[in-house]
Amino acid sequence: MLTCKEQVARSSDYLEGQLSFREKLMVRHHLMFCPNCRRFMRQMRLMQATLKALPEQADENVDALAERLAEQRRKDNPL
């Protein structure tokens, strides 16, 4: 099984579909058993989708951006 560190190192390649079949399986296997990496992967995915959707904002602090998005999501999907 991958360590969390190995998993994180593969996460962006995983999201971009750049991994080999075998590595993809290893990542999925790790995610199945590791809630922390699942959460990390969700954030990565959200971040990627966001960065694609937004115009270039090179100056903006990434944390501020993530915070703003989370805020927007809460507004869009009130519980």
- With CB under 5 A as the contact rule, the residue among 15, 34, 44, 47 that binds Zn ion is 34
- With CB under 5 A as the contact rule, the residue among 14, 26, 27, 37 that binds Zn ion is 37
Secondary structure of 18-71 in HEC code, one letter for each residue: CCCHHHHHHHHHHHHHCHHHHHHHHHHHHHHHHHHHCCCCCCCCHHHHHHHHHH
Contact between 4 and Zn ion per CB under 5 A: yes
Q: What is the Cα–Cα distance from 77 to 34, expressed in whole angstroms?
A: 26
Contact between 8 and Zn ion per CB under 5 A: no
Stretch that binds Zn ion, among 17-25, 29-37, 50-58, 64-72 (CB under 5 A): 29-37
Residues in the site for Zn ion, rule: CB under 5 A?
4, 7, 34, 37
